[in-house]
Chains A and B, each alone.
Chain A
Amino acid sequence: MRVKFKIYRYQPEVREEPYFDTFEFDAEPTDRVLDGLNHIRWQMDGTLVLRRSCQQGICGSDAMRINGANRLACKVLIGDVGAKITIEPLMGFRVIKDLVVDMDDFFEQYRSVLPYMITEKPPPEVERLQSPAEREVYDDTTKCILCAACTTACPSFWSNRDFVGPAAIVQAHRFIFDSRDEGTDERLEVLGERDGVWRCRTIFNCTEACPRDIKITRAIGEVKKAIALKGA
């Protein structure tokens, strides 16, 4: 099929203002949007840049806006979005060049929730025990690949860049509900602050955007409840 990719360009060394470029070429409906972008880069215009690595939806490199929705370019088939495709960088972070955005703040937010196992008790010689049921409680949030699709789809984040954002809350959830972890109090403290979970207005954009199908809004709800219970 003949496709038309309209792509947001920002080449600060050449031109101050961002602009759109259009590329027309033949593609298979089963090609991924990422294949289309690679085709452009390798056959038409080598100056186009984006982040990509695994090409199979697991590394989290290529989240971008595809016809207005946050998606991984490697997980969307051209045939499923149509012949006219508009591609823009994620919203809410500074654009460095074309589709590449500055992820520093995103990883800063991530770090702020203490995203690692905290334990006081020394571990046993073998594994710590955890029942399948205890393991199941936080299974969903272990799937996160830190792609930022959720955070950059969130209106609360767009209006307040200090909001810790859904991705960081998902990461915190993964530890708060892990029976082995002993750092819950510290984490709830961070998330209970002004720019923590309460900025979430349950808009569900994050859940819709997540390429890993994580039930993000539900996870945020569980964290809110944990904070409320602790406060009570």
Chain B
Amino acid sequence: MSKHVHTYDALVVGGGGAGLMAAVYLTRQPGLRTAVLSKLYPTRSHTGTAQGGISASLGNMGEEDSWEWHAFDTVKGGDYLGDQDAIEIMCREAPEVVYDLEHMGLPFSRTDDGRIAQRRFGGHTQNYGESLVRRSCYAADRTGHMILQTLYQQSIKHGVRFFDEFQVVDLLIDDGGCRGAVALELRTGDLHVFRSKALVLATGGYGRIWEITSNAITLTGDGLFVSARCGIPLEDMEFFQFHPTGIWKLGFLITEGVRGEGGILRNSEGERFMERYAPSLKDLASRDVVSRAIYKEIRAGRGIDGRRYVHLDATHLGADVIEQKLPEIADFCRIYLGIDPVTDPMPVQPTAHFAMGGIPTDIHGAVLALDGSVIRGLYAAGECACVSVHGANRLGTNSLLDLVVFGRRAGIAMADHCAAAELLPVGDDPAGRARADLERLWATAGKDGEKAAEIRREMSELMMNNVSVFRTEELLIEAKEKLAELKERADRIAIDDPSRGFNLDLTEAWETQGMVVLAQVITECALHRTESRGAHSREDFPDRDDENWLKHTLAVLRDGTVEIGYKPVSFTRFEPKEGVS
């Protein structure tokens, strides 16, 4: 047995918006012992980068709004793959959670009469698609930052126990359910066993699998990897959103707001090419449509200087609009590109942004096994989970909402579970498997072998070229073969650093091994789905095929291979209609 064993009622893995929301609700239960494990200090989580806002049909701006319209937009935006029971819950509870955040102290921007201010965002409409509505509640261009700060403040107020810089590397799961987790204490290199009655995974996304991404260097999909290794299925992994306007090479997001204010996309010939692809919505067509258009332009040789980017031109907006409405973006361009958006167009390319797929859960955040039964004591919430509310494509501002609604629901459900459940026993050496994995890596220190950085580079370039905005059978099969090689090489990674404490070399190697496996899962799912829907675009199967494909993909790892299954989509009130974009 490991020398460090901790026992809690509830464990939260991940200190972003989803994890902290669960933690706040758990600690409101008197007598419940809760701890948060996070590989980063919680305030370093990527929730802090979200700028746009959080959606809720408050109708604060003198325009009528309703949760049913919000639900319709979400279903339609997700190309009818979202589960409508979950979507209804999310949209109905949205006003309540936004008020909840306000009561916790979140400094929302305000209307003149002192209410929460709201603005427009792509895809959010009045009266089932009639016209855009102001539904996004925001705190300047720092909404995610303020959500993260506010929830961290509340966690401190309620005395949440934090284990900062503890990286979960294995879960304790067997037929009886989840019994806890094994975590590496980064500072010392020691393994700790955490026993629990209920555990929620809230480890965020995995954009780092692609070369160009808006995601932090730490968004490596650990939660999905440790789950998949325990036989838990992953849902809809072929659906990953590429945001059309990432800064060239760096991948950071240039918010949709730039095009909302009138920014225009141009190719090397100076042409406003979106007029050809989406004659009515033009530059403001949905994210997947614009990303595909940019890709096609680049492929046709109309990238700027023959390179892999086009221009986002905001120079005609004038200095006032840019300074007042888009200060952070102007700042980004000046610092990182040395250009001024007032006088120069910005170089942009599609960037891997958001995971629609993830660990399958029910509407209480409980994780579901392949047969649809609940895995006792295991929950998931936030970007690593798939409820599924985003279906095949997420609308802007719906992710922050997803985090707080389902983070809260998971927290409440876990508290109920803990009140009734007993702590399950663990075996003699619960950290055994994790220790073997890490010791194997440690033993390679200084020896010859594959370099994790090189494997990451090859994998992320491969995924960017073959498994991103456009996919074909040929590209996917090639990716599959190369990933198999990369997987083998990843097993032979050798690290430089032999030390125990703060061994970043070791944790990056471990994360790389996990990402290669997730890349294999994504590719296999994409290969199987022979249709185009939302973010998954098959050039060889360009149409949506409701007859055969109105179903969720479930992928399971078995002895190193990926097995594919399916489950039905839940419908309540909206029948699939052909999309118009």
Q: Point out residues on A near B: beta carbons under 8 Å.
A: 11-14, 30, 32, 41-43, 45-47, 49-61, 75, 77, 79, 96-97, 100, 103, 107, 111, 115-117, 123, 125-132, 134-135, 138-139, 142-143, 145-146, 174-175, 178, 180-181
Contacts and interface: CB of A to CB of B under 8 A. Distances in A.
Given A61-B40, A116-B157, A129 B499 contact: no
**List of 3 A-B pairs having minimum Cβ-Cβ separation, nearest first:** A117-B105, A46-B496, A129-B114
Given A13-B499, A77-B335, A54 B453 contact: no
B82 to A, nearest CB: 28
Contact of A59 (B45, B109, B113, B502): B45
Contacts of A128: 102-103
A207 to B, nearest CB: 18
8 contacts: A47-B496, A49-B497, A53-B44, A123-B99, A127-B99, A128-B102, A131-B110, A142-B146
Interface string B8-46: 000000000000000000000000000000001101111
B104 interface: yes
Interface of B: 40-41, 43-46, 48-49, 98-99, 102-105, 107-116, 139-140, 142, 145-146, 149, 153-154, 156-157, 187, 216-218, 250, 252, 332, 335-338, 451, 453, 495-497, 499-505
A145 B145 contact: yes
Nearest to A35: B250
B505 A135 contact: no
A127 B115 contact: yes
A61 B548 CA distance: 47
A128 B102 CA distance: 7
A61 B109 CA distance: 27
B105 A96 contact: no
Nearest to A98: B502
Nearest to A42: B453
B142 A55 contact: no
A115 B156 contact: yes
B505 A53 contact: no
Contacts of A30: 336-338
A46 B335 CA distance: 28
Given A43-B453, A59-B44, A97 B99 contact: no
A142 B104 CA distance: 14
Contacts of A178: 105, 107
A193 to B, nearest CB: 20
Contacts of A142: 107, 139, 142, 146, 149
Given A32-B336, A115-B153, A132 B104 contact: no
Nearest to B505: A46
Contact of B499 (A47, A54, A127, A139): A47
A113 to B, nearest CB: 11
B43 A145 contact: yes
A57 B51 CA distance: 13
A54 B187 contact: no
A152 to B, nearest CB: 16
Contacts of A60: 43-44
B499 A130 contact: no
Nearest to A50: B504
